[in-house]
Copies of this chain bind each other. A is one copy, B any other.
């Protein structure tokens, strides 16, 4: 199963990885089944949302910045990135997407994002597919 690499540029940033995941699914040889897109990090997430209008992601990040800024006086973890750890569990480390007819069965407006909560960093994610093999 492939591991893909990406580079984030900002402290908090969602990067559209839909095309790279779709390619990995087509190369997996699975016709119908499930695709897990998994982040092995503890200060990043993988999420689904609209990837047509970039204002959607901007609004999500703007609200989160107000709701949970990077610093909070009661955090004690010495590395200083507890907010990023919190967002990791809040939004989850992975999404599972159906595979149909050999490809990702996403909705019309859905895209897959790698969500950086503590960047910039070099990050990785896995694409693991299970199901019936392509005939």
Contacts and interface: CB of A to CB of B under 8 A. Distances in A.
Contacts of A96: 34, 36, 38, 94, 96
A94 B90 CA distance: 13
Contacts of A74: 59, 62-63, 66
A89 interface: yes
A119 interface: no
Contacts of A106: 40
B98 A1 contact: yes
Point out which of A50, A75, A105, A108 has the most chain B C-beta atoms below 10 A from its C-beta: A50
A17 interface: no
Nearest to A42: B50
